[in-house]
Structure formats: C-alpha cells, structure tokens
Amino acid sequence: MRVLVIILLMLAALPARGEEVIAGLSQNRVSLTVNFEGSEILIYGAVRRDGPLPEGPLDVVISVEGPPLPAVIWRKARRAGIWVNTESQEVRAAPSYYAVASTAPLRDILSPDADLTHRISTRLAIFEARTAPEARDPAAFTEALIRIREDEGLYQSRENAVALERDTLFSTRMTLPKNIVEGRYAARVFLVREGDVIDVFETVIDVQKAVLERWLFNLAYQQPFLYGLLALGLAVFFGWGASAAFRLMR
Amino acid sequence: MQIYLPIAETSVNAFTLLGVGGGVGMLSGMFGVGGGFLITPLLFFIGVPPAVAVATGVNQVVASSISGVLAHLKRKTVDLRMGLVLLLGGLIGSVIGIWFFNLMQRLGQIDLIVQLSYVIFLGIIGALMFNESLRAILRSKNPNAPRRKLHTHIWLHNLPFKMKFRASGLYISVFPPLLVGVGVGILAAVMGVGGGFVLVPAMIYLLGMPTKVVIGTSLFQVTFVAAFTTMAHAVTNQSVDVMLAIFLILGGVVGAQIGTRVGLRLKAEQLRILLALLVLAVCAKIAFDLLWTPSELYSITIPGRF
C-alpha cells in the first residue's frame, strides 16, 4: 500500500512532458563605455508544446547572474566613540549582480527542493564560507550583503514582473545598474509547473569594458609600471601644458 | 553626463568631477595651496572609493604643482640642496606610508585610517588658519602690534651632521629637514595630498628658512614625492584611476587660472578666513560620519578590488 502511494506521488511529481521554453534577449553584449549609465535588457520568449495545454497554472521565472566573486562583509561597532569595522565574515562567492523576476511570488510557485537544485532565489545564489564557530549571528552578514546590494540595484527580486500571455508568450525587462562589473552574465529562464522546474533555457550576456577602458584596466593590472608612467605623463602634460597655453593666451 | 571610471569601476557625473577639480583649483590659485587636502575628501563624498581617491588625488598634485616648480626653478627661488634633503626624507616617508596603506587595506581599515587622518589634519590646519588670519586682520587694524621673530635657533638645529644650505642661509643638522620630509611623505601616501600645508609652516617655523625660497623649495619636494607616490600606488595596489585624474586635472588647471586672477582683486585676510571655514566644514562632515551611528552597520569589500 505504502509503495503504491509513493509511486503515485512520484508520478504526480513527474514533469508534464512536451513543454519547452525558447527565449531571446534584446542584446547579448553590454559595453561599459565612458558614458555608461546602466542598461536595460528585454528578455522575451515563448513556450512550445506538442500536445494540448496541460491543466494547472504555468509560471515563468527568469534570472540573470553576474560573475560570482568572493566578498568580505564587515560589521561596525562603536570603539572609543567612533564607528569602526570590528567583525567580518567571508563569503566564498556571491554574484556581483543577481536579478530574479517571476510571474508570481517565488515561494508560491517554486518548491524549496526545486529552488535548491537550481539555486534560484537570491539567498541560495550566495555561497557562504564555513563560519567560524565563535561567529555571532552569521546569517545577519549574508542578509546585510543582500540588503546593501539591493540598495545599490545590484540585487533585484521582482515578483510579478514577468508578463505571461495565454500561457505561451512571456517577457520582462532587466535593468543593469551603472556599477556592474564586467564578465559573462548567465541568463536563465525556468518553466515552472506545480512547484517544479520542467524546462530551462540558458544564455549568456557578455558585459565588457569598452576598448579604451579595457585597455586602461589591463594596463593597470598587467603593466602597472607603464600605467604609472602614463598617469604621470598625463599629469605633467596637462599641468604644464595648460599653464603654458594660458600664458600664450595672455 | 556620466563618466565610467575603469579602475574605480563605477560611474560619476563628469560635471561634478570638473566642478570639484575646478573649485579646488580656484582655491589653490587664490591661496597658493595645492588643494589635495580638499580634493580627496570631496571625492569620498561623491562616492569614489577612498583608496582610489587617495592614489588619484596624489596624481593630481603632480599636475597642479609641475608648472609652479618649473617657474620657481627658472627664477632660482628653489634651495636645491634643502629640496633634495627634504625629497630624500619624502621618499622614505612615502615608502613607509605605502606600506602602512597596503597593510590597512588588507585589514579592512583603510577607509577609517584615511578619514581619521583627515579629521585630525583638517582640524588642526583649519584652526591654525582661522587663528592666523583673524590675527592678521587685527594686526592690520593695529599696526603697532609686536611682530613675530622669524629665525630662532632651537636645539633641533644643533644635532650632528650639520650641513650648509647656502640658498637659505642656514647651517643646521640634516635631521630636522630629513624628518620633516619623512612626515610629508607619509601624509602624501596615506592621505593623497601634496603636504604643502604641513611643509610650508614647518620650513618657516621649524627650519627657519627665508620666505623667498620656501614656496619654490616646497613645490620642488611636493612634486617629486607626489610623482613617486603615484608610481608606488600604481605598482603596489593599482588604485590610480587615469580617467578620474584627467577630469580633476582639466578642471583644476582651468580653475587655478581663474583663481589666480580673482585672488589678486580680493582681500587676502577675509578670503583666508573663508578657506579656513571651508576646511573646518569638510573636517566636521568627515568627523560627523565617524561619530554618528551609521544607517548601515555593514559594508562589503571584495578582495583585490575597491
């Protein structure tokens, strides 16, 4: 009897077959040019199905994840009257940008298991380091990380931001703020039915510094001595040149 | 218009940057100060990471003092021998400062150290300037007030290794100028300033140098120490942002030209009081940020970035 129930449950949990998601982006490249002020990317797509429309609600979840980086989170405390960084906690990897948009609140449409498998909600996208046993309240540090990045527009959790028409066509807009770092951004589109992910579409957005910025950044890190000479050369040229020019004008 | 800074990895408004550079440039033209001690904290306020603000500020100092030092060299108002001793001290100080800066950055305390040193130095300088200009105004109203004696020998000058500084008319131990140089070098590396605001009074009151060579010699030392410190920051922690520097420099050189002309038409003492009040206001703002309970107790640092 028990075996029968389990089999029935497993059958029920099995994804409804024959539904596939196809998606596209308004742009696959973002260039961090001199006057970059942030960018908006339209993500759109459709659900392809062979058979008739299955029963039950269909949901779409879209996430965009920037390159993960290690981070140190500091907590200030008052020491001798002034506020000083006193405690810190490391995070093994936290996405430098993470936006998740969905047709409904994530907790209503996604089972915890599916969330964990695909690491969809912001909290699960962050890989915490093993915390030291003496650490007080380690969760507060991760929460602070999310809160600070949400304030900066780097983390976005936008429920009901995906428009789904006739269970087939969907679209949403993702905003990339001006302070994003460069790298490969993974965009994922999840098709969700009854709490489970039944199909995933993945693509990449390439965020790169524009030619000049790229060149300066590489020079600074790979040829720091030359870069320093360049900085000095420019300072001497502009500092001396400008006053010479003003003298000529007089 | 926003400008993307490739090293700071963020965008700031180009006109704000030109305004900061130009405004501080005007002040430096009017008062003959370098202005690094105002540029760096103003950069904090507009959201440039402190490490980048310090290293780029010191790069800007090179630009703002280079034409001055060339003019003084031409007019022979540089005590080269004294300048070289101060410079040697400055390079030693810069190395110490860079080491300390990088250590504090690893410990996650660099923002605090930079802010604290600004509170202390701006507080002292602002108070001294305020006091000095208030007295100057009183003196101009009362011409019979006693004048201060310029050159007095103190025990510091009689330490061993005495040296002749002909252009300054001094015969003193090399240690006082060397130590002054070290102190200024540390300030340059940690605070991103030229250090003229410490160097000039130290040369006049501590070393007893005649005023006619003080400005030229201090510019000589400041230019080379700033150049060395820029290189050291670029090589050891990659925090010099050329894009940011160009905007500050462009604003600065234009502002300085305007400032020099405006300064000629205005009364120096009253202006000096205004500058003193401005310095004290910047100091108060930074102090307030350190003392007031912050709205966000947490902050994030990414190893290897700013």
Query: For chain A, which residues make up each domain, given as ranges?
Result: 19-208, 210-250
Nearest CA in chain B to A179: B10
Inside any domain, residue B229: yes
**In this predicted structure, which of A133-137, A166-170, B241-245 has the lowest mean pLDDT?**
A133-137
Query: A99 to chain B, minimum CA–CA distance in Å?
Result: 19
Please give the Cα distance from B251 to B77 (Å, whole number).
28
Residue from the list A37, A212, A231 with its beta carbon closest to the beta carbon of B59: A231
Residue type at B254 in one-letter notation: V
Q: Is the predicted pLDDT of residue A193 greater than 80, yes or no? A: yes
The more confident residue out of A76 and B150 is: A76
For helices B242-265 and A211-222, what crossing angle results, to 10°?
Answer: 100
Residue from the list B234, B290, B305 with its beta carbon closest to the beta carbon of A228: B234
Mean pLDDT score of chain B: 84
Contacts of B117 in chain A (CB under 8 A): none
Give the long-range contacts of residues A149-153, CB within 8 A, separation 24 or more: A149/A98, A149/B300, A151/B296, A152/A177, A152/A179, A153/A38, A153/A177, A153/A179
Yes or no, beta carbons of A213 and B293 under 8 Å apart: no
Confidence at residue A131, expressed as pLDDT on a 0 to 100 scale:
62
Residue from the list B9, B112, B246 with its beta carbon closest to the beta carbon of A181: B9
Overall domain count for chain B: 1
Task: Give strand pairing partners of A184.
Answer: A206
Quote the tokens at residue B187: 């300030």
Q: Are B12 and B33 in contact (CB under 8 A)?
A: no
Yes or no, beta carbons of A148 and B300 under 8 Å apart: yes
Q: Are B22 and B262 in contact (CB under 8 A)?
A: no
Q: Where residue A14 falls among pLDDT bands split at 50, 70, 90?
A: very low
Q: Using the structure block, give the residue that is written with the tokens 């024959």.
A: A18
* Total CB pairs under 8 A between chain A and B: 178
Inside any domain, residue B5: no
Confidence at residue B271, expressed as pLDDT on a 0 to 100 scale:
73
Quote the tokens at residue A84: 């000083």
Contacts of B116 in chain A (CB under 8 A): 82
Distances from the Cα of B5 to the Cα of A8, B146, B268, angstroms: 59, 53, 37
Q: Using the structure block, give the residue that is written with the tokens 């070290």.
A: B182
Percent of chain B surpassing pLDDT 70: 93
Q: Is the predicted pLDDT of residue A3 greater than 60, yes or no? A: no
Inside any domain, residue B2: no
What range defines the domain where residue B266 resides? 11-291
Yes or no, beta carbons of A232 and B108 under 8 Å apart: no
Query: Longest C-alpha distance within chain B, in Å?
Result: 62
Nearest CA in chain B to A82: B291
Yes or no, beta carbons of B234 and A216 under 8 Å apart: no
Confidence at residue B90, expressed as pLDDT on a 0 to 100 scale:
93
Confidence at residue A11, expressed as pLDDT on a 0 to 100 scale:
45
The more confident residue out of A142 and A226 is: A226
Quote the tokens at residue A73: 């989170």
* pTM over the 0.90 mark: no
Residue from the list B2, B290, B291 with its beta carbon closest to the beta carbon of A178: B2
DSSP calls for B134-160: HHHHHHHH-TTSPPPP-----GGGGSS
Inside any domain, residue B1: no
Domain A19-208 adopts which CATH fold?
A: Immunoglobulin-like (2.60.40)
Contacts of B227 in chain A (CB under 8 A): 232, 235
Query: A186 to chain B, minimum CA–CA distance in Å?
Result: 20
Nearest CA in chain B to A37: B2
Inside any domain, residue B303: no
